[in-house]
Structure 1
Amino acid sequence: MATPLSADALLRALKAEGCQVVEYRSWRTHNRNHKGSWGPVNGVMIHHTVSSGEDSSVALCYNGHASLPGPLCHTVGGKSGKLYMVGHGRANHAGSGDDDVLTAVVNETALPADNEANTDGNRHFYGLEIVNLGNGKDQYPTVQYDAAVRWASAICRAHGWNERSVIAHKEWQPGKIDPHGPVEGRGSFDMNAFRRDVAERLKHAASWSASSPTPSSPKPKPAPQEDAMPTAKEIADAVWKYQLASPTAEKGTDPNRTAGTFQRWGDQHHADVIARLDRLTAAVERLTAAITKS
């Protein structure tokens, strides 16, 4: 048993759980407390609205109708994934249900079959109405289902409850079928699966998301390596291939005018240069001798 959360505490819990919350009209003071007690609270209850259209469904749950005044729940779960706060305090959502079910919720044990309606549920349960026709064909989008899981988890986390404090209207009051219908990618709305999803969330921090990748340790940067000294052959090869400047080259160097080609040209003309030098030396010597005799 627990004291109901204040409006501010409830909002903080929902937002911490990653819920997209919309505060609708004067929800903080909108309740049926003049008709009976609100609390102690023992759990959360999931319903479907038997309606379509997000805005109209929110208005219906806030205002109620001729035979059942609003608020008809505390929160409305839209197909968009938004959670609309429509009431805080006693709300007309649970009605009368099975006292054995309430005992199981209080003790957080397996639920018995609901076979009687002898206990006031509006006093003991937070209520979520999920927008759905309840005809077995209208689908609950993944984002809507996930918002419902987060809503239930947030309240359970705030009170220190586990997933067994979460029940469906159909598990509380005989003759009810909600929530009913297909969940995107999951088949029929199954409360055991829903509770497992709540249990999984409660294992993690409120900010956890099943789709979030697990943070991994950053890979260490490779240690900087010293530049290897080039070998003598590598230096010689580089020099041999070095392109020399040429006045006819567009970019200052000529790929056909490398140190290697220049060296090969020099080798080819070395002997001719030496021979010419020898002849020039001999001519100079003869000329010198002739000048000396005269």
Structure 2
Amino acid sequence: MVALPLVWLADVLRATGLTVVETDGWRNRTATSGPLPDPVGVLEHHTATPASYENPAPSVQLCIDGRPDLAGPLCHAMIGFDGVVHMIAAGRANHAGRARASGPVPAGDGNILYVGFEWDYQGVDQGPSPEQYDAALEATRAVLNHLGSPMDAARGHKETSVTGKIDPGHVDMDQFRAQLGNRKQEDVMTPEQDAILRRLETELLGPRGPKGEIQGWQTDLGPRTIVAMLVDLVNEVVAKQQNPAAAAQAPAPDAEAIKAAFQALPPDQAAPLLAELVRIQQARQPTPEQYAQRSQP
């Protein structure tokens, strides 16, 4: 099977730090209403469905299946009220219809010209949440950078529609585009820095699952992250301090064995582990006020 043109989308979004959920079959999902996308811009929409932090993504299935009057998929990705991005389709999506020229993007078949993002909120009586808005900024910026397109190629459906669409409601697209272009240079990581950060994240949290969930490393006690294992160690030490009798019966830790275990670790694995140990130790240090209280008779 030939890969659809937007199969890269989840990886590009996840590389920004966004939480990405890959719905089943999204990489092979496409509409049959016309040619596949060859995008030069990103088009923002709202779903017109009320959403909340308790129910942040009620329209996922609607975006996949479509409506009675419009077959799905209805976008390429849907951004929940909580800022989580749900992957919908890697092929053609029926989100834009015929588009008029807007900014640097010419008129034409909007489903070819744009990657389509649906924001899951009602749009008339309800605007997007801050988390949703920020996620849309990150996602849009990442896609435009991947496409090699200017930030002005981010458009709202209300700017391209020939039928009077109003989405995304409660969003000033001029301000949105200005914010896309105002990212501080120091906030932009080089590819090398991004690779290092993702490697450290993997070493601390373990490999992620197929839907982006944290899985942890497999241990005799089940999946555990490095941070969780360190917390277990600290809790064990505290428990022994609180119960000296039990501690006296427990075997003393073998300092040489611990040292040998650290020496056996590759440097790029030992470094984050040691950094986390330092952080935990610093967090356990008494404050000056606590020291003063201890010194009082």
TM over 0.5: yes
Aligned to 1:126: 115
Q: How does 1:1-294 map to 2 (within 5 A)?
A: 6-7=6-7, 9-32=8-31, 34-53=32-51, 54-98=56-100, 100-101=101-102, 104-105=104-105, 119-135=108-124, 137-174=125-162, 175-181=164-170, 189-201=171-183, 203=185, 204-205=187-188
Show structure 2 runs of 5+ residues with no match.
194-297
| Partner SS state of residue 117, structure 2 | strand
- Per-residue deviation, residues 108-153 of structure 1 (Å, max 9, x unmatched): xxxxxxxxxx721111110001011111x31311111000001101
Mapped partners of 2:151, 2:189: distance in 1: 14
RMSD over aligned CA atoms reads: 2.2
| Partner SS state of residue 145, structure 2 | helix
Count of aligned pairs: 182
- TM value normalised by structure 1: 0.58
Amino acid at match of 1:155: V
Amino acid at match of 1:149: L
Mapped partners of 1:151, 1:5: distance in 2: 17
Say if 1:202 and 1:30 are closer, same or farther in 2 by CA, change over 3 A.
Answer: farther
| Partner SS state of residue 181, structure 2 | helix
Mapped partners of 1:57, 1:196: distance in 2: 28
Show structure 1 runs of 5+ residues with no match.
107-117, 182-188, 209-294
The answer to whether the Cα contact below 8 Å between 1:162 and 1:202 also exists between their aligned partners in 2 is no
Q: Which runs of 4+ in 1 moved over 3 A?
A: 201-204
Say if 1:70 and 1:198 are closer, same or farther in 2 by CA, change over 3 A.
Answer: same
The answer to whether the Cα contact below 8 Å between 2:102 and 2:155 also exists between their aligned partners in 1 is no
Amino acid at match of 1:12: D
The answer to whether the Cα contact below 8 Å between 1:154 and 1:206 also exists between their aligned partners in 2 is no
